[in-house]
Structure 1
Amino acid sequence: MTGAATVAGARSRGLLVRILPPALYAGRASALLERSVLSYSRAWLVFVSGAVEPLFYLLAFQVGFGRLVTEVVGPDGPMSYVAFVAPALLAASAMNGAVFDATYGVFFKFRYSRTYDAMLATPIGPLDIALGEIGWAVLRGGLYAVAFFGVMGGMGLVASPWAVLLIPAALLVAFAFAAVGMACATFLRSPSQFDFVQLAVVPMFLFSTTFYPLSVYPDALQVVVQLVPLYHGVELMRGLSVGALEPSMLLNVGYLVALATVGVWGTARRLGTLLLR
């Protein structure tokens, strides 16, 4: 079985190499993922700090604000406010972990240390760089999600067997934001322009139905909110957390998959244009 899987994997890689130009893809994205793991192996406090912030939010709602707002209308009827907010904070945690690596980390490797120029002197191509860096950002976002999910379980906020799908959903959210974030990072020219990243991330965190349902918005603003990427991650996770499976969740998944695809394509194209001139 393992041999058959290996052969199938080799054939798929060979097909991809034939479809894409050799200068774009060489099938070595795993080398970048391994490099990132080794680089961060002695910086584990970075992961702790990234996981702690959303946990503080969750605990604050549990012992503070959650006592004032007892119940809200969720995907499957009334639910406690803390249970309503928890999956949204999980989505935000995956987003923040992925965006940090895909923007800040990529920018300094791209503009200052010139890490990617050195990589492209090897058989690694721009698509390898895109997939490797995005893969590391997804892994980091996934680690935050696992830690957060464990706290949710400890606080009794896991109400359905379907909630186990929150982890794959968080990985999808991280993938979408990492891909788009890395593409955007190639357009930044100075560290001061990271203010634009925060200008996009903070409003998404606050207004993507993270803390209150979509129905509180006027009709016109509801349409705008439904176009925001994090909204689809929040709604997907909130439905899974209570086991309220709806056909609209397929739309949420499709939106995030499309966003990730466009992000990977855009990142590889930008790296190829800027570094292979």
Structure 2
Amino acid sequence: MNDRIALPPAGGAHLVVLRNLWVHKGGSPWTMALFSVFEPILYLLAIGVGIGGLVGEVPGVEVPYAAFVAPALLATAVMNSALEETTQTAYAKFAFDRFYHSLAVTPITVSGLVLGEIAWGMLRGLITGLGFLAVVTALGLVTSPWVLLAVPAGLLIAFTFGAAGFLTAGYVRGWSDFQYMQLVMLPMFLFATTFYPVTVYPEPVAAVVRALPLYHAIELVRGPALGQVGPGLLGNAGYLAAVGLVCFLLARRRWRRLLTA
């Protein structure tokens, strides 16, 4: 696999995406993506609607609790879908199917492989995000037309976590290693303002929370969903783009080592 072979600038990334579409032409990726909506819907009904009946409106935001939680669950659903494709599925392609090894004899470059798999994760995340957005709209939890910005926001979120996931997959030694991911993902899900605003934390803790990628992902969706559109969203987008770019570059270097050793 050689980045010097003449290919489009993306290094054949589109071919990786097309291959994944062909393999799943029976519809399984769409079915899996829609199934990914099921878990956040349960959270929304149990916590957003159930506990929301006791909470009422969120102080300082003045919207029903379910409407406050729904955008965060949308961002989380997109994140999880992208991560699933670029971690566990990617590891299976490498360790068992040896799909990535087979690309070594094709013109597709390492950059194309990495970008293609991240793009595939973005597509999966987009489908999940659109599915969940349709559900919350049907439940009457959409309070602003600015919520349409959740679509490009979801693509950026999927890019960031897809790149981080593919970088992580390059260091996985076995299925048991994915348990360590949960040591990071579960606390981040619980504490990155998914269920309450960052103002509940004392400032030193709030500063740590604001450093979490999921916090910026939630803010990027929650702001437009609640009609709160301002320059701060550019900071959230810039943070996610920077993290995604760094992870992409590191993932490319890691996978080049794995596939050309």
Instruction: Please say whether Structure 1 and Structure 2 have the same fold, judged by a TM-score greater than 0.5.
Output: yes
Are 1:68 and 2:26 an aligned pair?
no
CA distance in 1, matches of 2:184, 2:20: 26
Residue aligning to 1:22? 5
> For 1:21 and 1:257, how far apart are their aligned partners in 2?
26
* 1:203 equivalent in alignment to 2:179: no
CA–CA distance in 2 between the matches of 1:41 and 1:48?
16
**Is 1:135 paired with 2:123?**
no
1:61 to partner: Cα distance: 3.4
Structure 1 pair 188/90, CA: closer, same or farther in 2 (3 Å)?
Answer: same
Superposed CA RMSD in Å reads 1.8
Which of 39, 42, 56 aligns to 2:42? It is 56
Partner of 2:231: 247
Residue 15 of structure 2 corresponds to which residue in structure 1?
Answer: 31
In structure 2, distance between residues paired with 1:211 and 1:26: 39
Distance 2:260 2:10 in 1: 15
In the TM superposition, what is the alpha-carbon distance from 1:23 to its structure 2 partner? 8.8
C-alpha distance in structure 2 between counterparts of 1:73 and 1:247, whole Å: 23
From the superposition, tell whether residues 48 and 22 of structure 1 become closer, same or farther in structure 2 (CA, over 3 Å). Answer: same
Distance 2:6 2:239 in 1: 30
1:102-117 paired onto structure 2 within 5 Å: 102-117=86-101
89-98 vs 101-110, greater mean Cα deviation: 101-110
Q: Distance in 2 between matches of 1:136 and 1:258?
A: 20
1:68-125: CA deviation from partner (whole Å, max 9, x where unpaired) = 1101135xx3111001000000000000000111100111112222111101111011
**What number of residue pairs does the alignment pair up?**
257
User: Residue 62 of structure 2 aligns to a residue in which SS?
Assistant: strand
Separation in 2, partners of 1:205, 1:61? 14
Are the counterparts in 2 of residues 110 and 186 from structure 1 also a CA contact under 8 Å?
no
> Counterpart in 1 of 2:150?
166
1:150 and 2:143 correspond: no
SS at match of 2:143: coil
Aligned with 1:177 (options 158, 161, 166): 161
The code of the aligned residue for 1:22 comes to I
CA-to-aligned-CA distance 1:12-70 (integer Å, 9 cap, x gap): xxxxx9xx643997731111101111222332542232121111222223541111110
- Using the size of structure 2 for normalisation, the TM-score is 0.93
Asked if the contact 2:122–2:162 (Cα under 8 Å) also holds between the matched residues in 1, the reply is yes
Cα-to-partner distance string for 1:196-247 (whole Å, 9 max, x where unaligned)? 1111111111111000110111211111101100000111111110221122
Q: Distance in 2 between matches of 1:89 and 1:79?
A: 16
Distance 1:189 1:127, change over 3 A: same
Are 2:110 and 2:256, in contact at CA under 8 Å, matched by a contact in 1?
yes
Contact 1:23 1:126 in 2 (8 A): no
Tell me the percent identity: 43
Contact 2:34 / 2:127 at 8 angstroms: preserved in 1? no
Unmatched segments (≥5 aa) in structure 1: 1-16
